[in-house]
Chain A
Amino acid sequence: MAHEATHDQHDHHHAPQGFFQRWVMSTNHKDIGTLYLIFSLTMFFIGGSFAMVIRAELFKPGLDLVQPYFFNEMTTMHALVMIFGAIMPAFVGLGNWMIPLMIGAPDMALPRMNNLSFWILPFAFALMLSTLFLPGGGPAGGWTMYPPLSLQSGSLAYVVFSIHLMGISSIMGAINIIATILNMRAPGMDLLKMPVFVWSWLITAFLLIAVMPVLAGAVTMLLTDKYFGTSFFNPGGGGDPVLYQHVFWFFGHPEVYIMILPAFGIISEIVPTFARKPIFGYRAMVYAIACIAFLSFIVWAHHMFAVGLPLGADIFFMYATMLIAVPTGVKVFNWVATMWGGSMTFETPMLFAIAFIILFTIGGFSGLMLALVPADFQYHDTYFVVAHFHYVLVTGAAFAIMAATYYWLPKWTGHMYNEFWGKVHFWCSVVFVNVLFFPQHFLGLAGMPRRIPDYNVAFANFNMISSIGGFLFGASQLIFLGVVVHCAFFARKKAADRVWEGAKGLEWTVPSPAPHHTFEVPPVVRDEELAHGHVND
């Protein structure tokens, strides 16, 4: 680190010259954060275009556009790209940009590893997406890759390798974030004075380190089953297909929280800012995140209630799953209590944060319903589940990422984004996302399975409504792109250092745009400047 510090002295006042040197060889947390965010936005549109194919085919009964196998490739790729390409890198990008600024650190603890963990990703996704153009096509067995079906795919090896790469990237990113938070906080930035976003990332990073190797193990077993004659999951050789599901979901459920805990952190920063009131129950918020993270390890089999688990297992996993509602409820109540008695304004980040709280809670409600095993026997693998996880991932994770983008964009670019078009983007998104996903609850309850390219005419009306909502929601995201590009390159209105009136925390003490190097000398931390500096509860 000392070496890095001396190196940084050379280009103290300016970014490295030259496009290649600045963006490809960068070790700067802000530039790498920007790269992550651009990558994530690109993947968001690629994954979104797959979703458009899905919704177009499902627009009306009858196969009109694509063959069933291609449809399955689209559902599989949509999930893989959105989860590993859009949501996770977006959070890593936000963490890269904001964690050092929020804790008063000059950079990430391991800047070169930071560069590597980003630059693995484009190659991993190029590999995975290339399968769509190969003979035999891409993976079509669902993002969960259940054997024996996934073993029928000719592109399995590509997908396994790209997942290994993504896993390496994620683990390196997580190590970097833990090392940064634990070692590089400015003096006076106690753990329990850290922004909730930093806390949420610290906990998320531990989840990543714990479960990404599990996924790597699971997919490696798939690989050896297909190509090296092992029988981990092959009943003909004494294996067990259900074993894969246990291993996969031991990764998969914490993975779900990897995609939502940083969102909790973001919302916990934005709501106090625009309510102009400290967050209610700071410690309860931190403990709730830790509690949810712990519970995420003991609920995995609730994804498997239909595989024929023993009664005792069904009961245990049902109770454990229901328990998650308690800390999650505490978080929602605390956000509402933060608003209560505040002095609120409703700029675009706050609008997205409020929509997050309401719509994520709706996703939580359907999650509670899904936890009840007898009811899950009906809901499982239907559009009810599709509606549920899109409420938590789109109106949850993705809305939080958009809220964070509007919230910190002026700090990144030095210019204010266009508030009018930001609000247009918000209102279009929040209306159309509900037109898109709410009817899917009804489809699932009426009996429409997920992952089918065609359906009985009884499901026609809600599918058409959902598709219309999907097209309009997809188009609305072009407004987002426009607002971001405009703010980055064309906006005139200078952003103040403290962009938002009620904003507190170290990131608002540096100029806008944040200079290439910040906090080379640790800041003097004064509790009243921090969002959570005077916590005594």
Chain B
Amino acid sequence: MTSGSIRTGRAEPGRGLGIRHAVAAALAPALALFAGFAQANPEPGQLNMTRGVTTWSGEPYFLNNVALGVCVVIGIVVFGAMFIAMFRFRKSRGAVPEKWSHNTTVEIIWTAIPVLILMALAWMATGGLVSFADTTGAQMTIKVTGYQWKWRYDYVDYQGKPVSKVGFMSRLDELSDKTRQLHSGLDPYAVTTDGYNTYLLNVDKPLVLPIHTKIRFVITSDDVIHSWWVPSFGWKMDAIPGIVNSAWTNINVPGTYRGQCAELCGQDHGFMPIVVKAVPQEDFAKWLAAQEQANAPAPAATPAAASTAAAPAGHG
């Protein structure tokens, strides 16, 4: 049923990057430098949330694990008591029903203890929430716009300087798109990029971001509500027409991180993935310069410039 072996996940060295199409040309200098990067994408048989790869993404992971642990312990106590009761107090074992129906001490205890546990959980969660809400001090701004059914990324500023005319549409890659058609006859297991199955999790042009940089996202939509979600970043944020939401990330590990739209947005909601390629800062600077150069000076349509055009026609 599953193809390939179970991957261990983080930081597998020596894996090449798998971005299809001509975009690779612009990235060629960077490609060679990616000696090691994390693979924090869904794995067959994965049982728990990803730890993620950013300075903040440990917060939901930690809270998830703590809350799960608390629930398991409470569950063992409560269900354990239930099963003991079911075994001991059976009519078939001659149990005689007692008459009591009330015990104030016990009731106070089992009201107070959950309150204390909840206070501890709330305290931990509040810390994570406050740090997430602080989008100040960002060194870079990316504007994300949701469309039915693709994403647009615009690079607004980087290291205090405005970025001119770097922006592009990012949509489901061609192979996934062909494979996902009803009765396509194509095998989803055959959609791989460098040995990793990227069916429905690959795009034509990924969002390229630098690591070790506090990046602010401003997120909106042009039509219906979408939600921008890369699990490795630890959050999702709705893209809502008429509203600009903000969120931030600071990626620790270079790599390719995959996500999907997480708010029902119509028939192709399941087919508008998100791919982020995180690269070292120097590589990012080169990439950004190449993009600006390609787009800025001449009206001559280079392939990269063509893809910056809004809403390529004839899709979806």
Query: How far does the Cβ of B171 sit from chain A's closest Cβ, in whole Å?
Result: 15
A113 CA / B107 CA spacing, docked (Å): 42
A318 to B123, CA, bound (A): 11
A181 contacts partner chain B, Cβ-Cβ < 8 Å: no
The answer to whether the Cβ of A280 comes within 8 Å of any Cβ in the partner chain is: yes
B24 touches A (CB below 8 Å): no
Return B254 CB to nearest CB of chain A, in Å: 20
User: Which positions 327-364 of chain A face chain B at CB distance < 8 Å?
Assistant: 329-330, 332-333, 336-346, 354, 357-358, 361-362
Which chain B residues border A362 with CB–CB below 8 Å?
Answer: 75
Asked if A336 contacts B101 (CB within 8 A), the reply is no
Cβ of A343 and Cβ of B95 under 8 Å apart?
yes
A side interface size, CB within 8 A: 101
Indicate which residue in B3, B49, B67, B98 contacts A342 across the interface (CB closer than 8 Å).
Answer: B98
CB contact list, B245-290 vs A, under 8 A:
245-246, 259-271
Shortest distance between the CB of B136 and any CB in chain A (Å): 13
Which residue of A63, A339, A357, A464 contacts B180 across the interface (Cβ within 8 Å)? A63
Question: Contact: A72 with B264, CB < 8 Å?
Answer: yes
Tell me the minimal C-beta distance from B304 to chain A in angstroms: 28
Q: Tell me, yes or no, whether B43 is within 8 Å of chain A by CB.
A: yes
Q: Is the CB of A329 within 8 A of B200?
A: no
The reply on B160 being an interface residue by CB < 8 A is no
A224: chain B residues within 8 A (beta carbon): none
Pairwise interchain contact B75-A361, C-beta atoms closer than 8 A = yes
Q: Is the CB of B79 within 8 A of A358?
A: yes
> Does residue A226 face the partner (Cβ distance < 8 Å to B)?
no
A140 / chain B contacts, CB cutoff of 8 Å? 266-267
Residue of B101, B234, B262 contacting most chain A CB atoms (<10 Å): B101
Q: Is A25 an interface residue (CB 8 A)?
A: no
Task: Label chain A's interface by main secondary structure.
Answer: helix
Confirm or deny: B23 has a beta carbon within 8 angstroms of a beta carbon on chain A: no
Closest Cβ–Cβ distance, residue A276 to chain B (whole Å): 4
Q: Is B74 an interface residue (CB 8 A)?
A: yes
A69 at the interface (CB under 8 A from B): yes
Contact of A336 (CB < 8 Å), options: B48, B78, B99: B78
- A446 to B40 CA separation, bound complex (whole angstroms): 10
The residues of A with any CB-CB pair to B shorter than 8 Å are: 61-64, 66-69, 72, 140-142, 146, 148-149, 152, 235-236, 239-242, 275-282, 284, 306-308, 311, 314-315, 318-319, 322-323, 325-326, 329-330, 332-333, 336-346, 354, 357-358, 361-362, 365-366, 368-369, 372-375, 377-382, 442, 445-462, 464, 502, 535-537
21 A-B pairs (CB sep. < 8 Å):
A66-B182, A148-B224, A149-B224, A235-B241, A241-B240, A280-B101, A281-B102, A325-B118, A343-B96, A365-B74, A372-B121, A375-B64, A377-B132, A377-B234, A378-B234, A382-B262, A446-B42, A450-B264, A458-B46, A462-B45, A502-B97
